[in-house]
Amino acid sequence: MEMQKGKGGTAAGGGGKLLVSTLLDAKDELEERLERCVGIVTSLTNGLSEREANDALNAHICKGTPQHEEICLGLFTLVLTEPAQAQKCYRDLALVSRDGMNIVLNKINHILMEKYLKLQDTCRTQLVWLLRELVKSGVLGADGVCMTFMKQIAGGDVTAKNIWLAENVLEILTEQREWVLKSSLLIAMAVYTYLRLIVDHHGTSQLQALRQKEVDFCISLLRERFMDCFMIGRDLVRLLQNVARIPEFEQLWKDIIHNPQVLSTQFTGVLQLLQSRTSRKFLACRLTPDMETKLLFMTSRVRFGQQKRYQDWFQRQYLSTPDSQSLRCDLIRYICGVVHPSNEVLSSDILPRWAIIGWLLTTCTSNVAASNAKLALFYDWLFFNPEKDSIMNIEPAILVMHHSMKPHPAITATLLDFMCRIIPNFYPPLEAHVRQGVFNSLTHIVEKRVLAHLAPLFDNPKLDKELRAMLREKFPEFCSSPSPPIEVKVEEPVSMEMENHMSEKDDSCYDNAEAAFSDDEDDLNSKGKKREFRFHPIKETIVEEPVDITPFLDQLDESLKDKVLQLQKGSDTEAQCEVMQEIVDQVLEEDFDSEQLSVLASCLQELFKAHFRGEVLPEEITEESLEESVGKPLYLIFRNLCQMQEDNSGFSLLLDLLSELYQKQPKIGYHLLYYLKASKAAAGKMNLYESFAQATQLGDLHTCLMMDMKACQEDDVRLLCYLTPSIYTEFPDETLRSGELLNMIVAVIDSFQLQELVCHVMMGNLVMFRKDSVLNILIQSLDWETFEQYCTWQLFLAHSIPLETIIPILQHLKYKDHPEALSCLLLQLRREKPSEEMVKMVLSRPCHPDDQFTTSILRHWCIKHDDLLAEHIKSLLIKNNSLPRKRQSLRSSSSKLAQLTLEQILEHLDNLRLNLTNTKQNCRYRRAAPWELGCSGIDRERLSPLSLMAGRVPRPGAPAVWFLTPVSAGSSTVFSQTPILQALQHVQASCDEAHKMKFSDLFSLAEEYEDSSTKPPKSRRKATLSSPRSRKNAAQPANNEEESASSSASEEEDTKPKPTKRKRKGSSAVGSDSD
């Protein structure tokens, strides 16, 4: 099936060969880099035979790693953009690649996750072709790329491009079935994806044909590899329910219920599946990267009450068609199971999860979709086990009901009714289990203080009598009035105290009069104690239970099985370490069966669960405490890796073991980073992490690093700060361009940790910004929280990066939206000497009466650097005045960023003039210094007490003279600078009458300058006597003649540079009255 050309295709869209873009879009950095690589490959192979070309490419690759990457990326880009050469380029790529195609796999994942929507249609087709070739060649890591492709297949979307992608990926999986069966995770992910898509594919004959292929594919994998599909967990049952009417699945259901052993000897029945929690990776795989990004943005950046425009955009983009109704279930499952906000977010005013789910429920237009959405919301309730499941999975449902009671009582009523009716109707033979699961959920909710009491919700007068009666019948324990409050000690932390932040959120849209959150508070206040209102984080009770690894032990060989049992029985750390070393030694033996790595990893993950709880970093950091902290049995794998060479066969085996562990326990990633940083045995071995990242299913250093640092951020902020210097130092290409990583850090650090990081920067231990990427990161930070932005600017200012590097950010800053960046930039600019580029950017800001940024910094520069500022303003005035008016306005209107126009410069100068005028009005009188009595106003500013040496001393008995002096001395002289006056004169001569009228006060300064500079020398004395400056000093008749003579003499000296003047250095310097 060929993909149809759409609006985004090459024919209709603009841009390069790779990405679609418009005339207004800036050139994409990735596309530019790939084009450069293509140019290198073309220049090396142009006009050569195949053998000569291959030799030339290999010779270039031998020069080093960067050259290897250039050639690989160049050939990869040619495969995407030149279909006619694709086969030849892929063959060359396979021949020259020296890293098992890792560079290409990473770049494909990067494009799929971030650029797929912008790809030209030809490139999408070629990308699928390339996947097919990679799978045929059995390239290690192609399964990860295949899963990323499946993530791009959107649910609820039957457009031609989406159907084309679904069909082509399915063809690859069907054709390469033997390859698929080698990866358990790929099997489960493919079944989960296509089971979900079957629901959408109905109607036309083309969709029916695709649907049948999907049915056959899923049925075959479910029957042949059921235990691989079992890892999906309880959501597999939910998806199978949706397709139960299809004959093939109807037969499968009969086997699941009545004869489960047919599917697998390890499968005991549907209850076993329903009691298994679904992993986040499956819930996340049914949202495209773009959907996931938008949802995460709403749940981490958008403030409660300001979400409507974001929700409207999301609805228009993804939920506007009848087919898209089925997507709501995917979104709700993702929000409940994947989006688990940190305690900081929970206690802030960020849009809560229940509000988004409430919006999804209220906008649902199909009864079937509404029922499925409610089932998706309550699905984790039905078999909830407090010891295995998370409170965060069931919290949204109860909060939707609680907060909807006032504004949308119908929503609360329908959800409560659904909760009651699902118990007997979900699966009658398991009614008792479902009832227990719902009861466990409600009990856990009250224990964790998500809601203090359920009676106000279950027995609310707004609910109809029948529903209240049914609730009392089903849940009598929660419908009775709350018992008298018990005395609570203030010192004891409550497991989950959500009253404070919930009441804040309610204030914006709900009446909170009936919410029963204050019982404990009233009790404490009645005893005269002061209650502290603060958020207490969720603290799930950890119940240590015996570890059951029996299902895994049977799959191990006898010797390994015995060692794992010894490890389980080991009481102290030292004994466990000895046994762990024996296990590692056995893994490294030549005859070890690598297929047992996955089972071994499952055993180790279960045995060492305690390693991944609590804080990793010691409270007091010393060499001894660090060495003690890295002495855990599991860290022996890391130590053995550090002691081995990368070309050792055992090295890759240990990496495979870690990769299996990583799939089952993602925290292993940041534990490895900690070991490499803290252990003396790992000194200088941080590059091992890159090998580990490439060995994982992700196969990409950047993605792996970001995920591990995110996990570290959520678990241990101290450890995150401890690792930061090493991460930035060892992986500069992945970190210095990453605004995501910086945001992770500044989002959780406190002021003390910020100061530590600043010290690291200033001591040279840490570099967080680089000239070529700092501007983009600062622009990204404009959307962050206020404290996060201030932290970012503090860290930037600790670096010695010239301000000119980031001055273009001014064009992105709006005075209402970005006060943090503007204030930081203003304080930094005041320390700098103005360059022409700085002045240009400052003047490029739009004029607005409330935006004082430009006037503030210009006024400061007037005081400190008036001559330099005057030269730059003159240059910009003349340059902009020489541009044709029409061209100038067209350019400024079509550009994304503001362009500097002549009118802008004049407006800013006029604002500056008004500011200085207002400052002048705030003046004080002072007595004249003796050396000032013979000077005009201008001369007085130019001269100094050195004039006393020239004999300018007042006559005895002369009356005292007082001058009116501005408080800010020096600020009044900027518009007396010759360059500015000349430039204003130049502009005035060529501008139209409207501008002359608008800026008449500004141009009057130029007119005065013009008058004084165009009159003949002979009449200058008379002109001076009758000028406004002379009239100002008319109150001093005793000095009138001296002033006149002095003023004339100084003016003549300025306008007539004679050779003889150079000989009289003394007199010219002080303006002698000798003439």
pLDDT tens-digit readout, 364-382: 888 888 999 999 999 999 9
Tens-place pLDDT, residues 1015-1073? 444 443 333 333 333 333 444 443 443 434 334 434 334 434 444 333 333 333 334 33
pLDDT band at residue 975 using 50, 70 and 90 as cut-offs = confident
Tens-place pLDDT, residues 574-600? 888 888 888 888 888 877 777 778 888
Bridge partners (DSSP) of residue 924 are 965
Mean pLDDT of all residues in 563-572: 78
pLDDT, residue 545, reads 52
CA 371 from centroid of its chain's CA atoms: 35
Q: Is the pLDDT of residue 182 over 80?
A: yes
pLDDT band at residue 480 using 50, 70 and 90 as cut-offs = low
**Residue 1023 DSSP SS3:** helix
Write the CA distances from 375 to 244, 331, 361, integer angstroms.
Answer: 16, 13, 12
Burial 673-707 (b: 16+ CB within 10 A, else e): bbbbbbbeebeebbebbeebbbbbbbbbbbbbbbb
Rounded to whole angstroms, how far apart are CA atoms 201 and 203? 7
Residue of 517 and 539 predicted with greater confidence: 539
Radius of gyration of the chain from its Cα atoms, rounded to whole angstroms: 37
Q: Is the pLDDT of residue 538 over 60?
A: no
CB 967 within 8 A of CB 922: yes
Close Cβ partners of 88 (under 8 Å, ≥ 6 residues apart): 50
Closest CA to 1028 of 1050, 1046, 1009, 1015: 1009
Q: Sign of the C-alpha dihedral, residues 604, 607, 613, 615?
A: negative
Tens-place pLDDT, residues 590-634? 777 777 788 888 888 888 877 787 778 888 888 888 888 888 888
Q: Is the pLDDT of residue 508 over 50?
A: no
Other C-beta atoms closer than 10 Å to the C-beta of 536 total 17
Tell me whether strands 14-15 and 20-21 are parallel, antiparallel or unpaired. Answer: antiparallel
pLDDT, residue 489, reads 33
pLDDT, residue 1008, reads 65
pLDDT band at residue 895 using 50, 70 and 90 as cut-offs = very low
Tens-place pLDDT, residues 676-723? 888 888 888 888 888 888 888 777 788 888 888 888 888 888 899 999
pLDDT band at residue 460 using 50, 70 and 90 as cut-offs = confident
Write the CA distances from 943 to 33, 946, 948, integer angstroms.
Answer: 60, 8, 10
Other C-beta atoms closer than 10 Å to the C-beta of 1036 total 16
pLDDT, residue 296, reads 92
Residue of 607 and 231 predicted with greater confidence: 231
What percentage of the chain reaches a pLDDT higher than 90?
Answer: 33
Q: Is the pLDDT of residue 107 over 80?
A: yes
Rounded to whole angstroms, how far apart are CA atoms 808 and 822? 12
pLDDT band at residue 919 using 50, 70 and 90 as cut-offs = low
Tens-place pLDDT, residues 254-286? 999 999 999 999 999 999 999 999 999 999 999
Q: Is the pLDDT of residue 3 over 60?
A: no
- Model's pTM, two decimal places? 0.50
Mean pLDDT of all residues in 954-982: 56
Q: Is the pLDDT of residue 173 over 60?
A: yes
Rounded to whole angstroms, how far apart are CA atoms 40 and 390? 53
Range in 44-58, 170-184, 970-984 with the lowest mean pLDDT: 970-984
The mean pLDDT value of the chain amounts to: 78
Q: Is the pLDDT of residue 42 over 80?
A: yes
Encoding tokens for residue 28? 């994409």
Closest CA to 594 of 654, 552, 644: 654
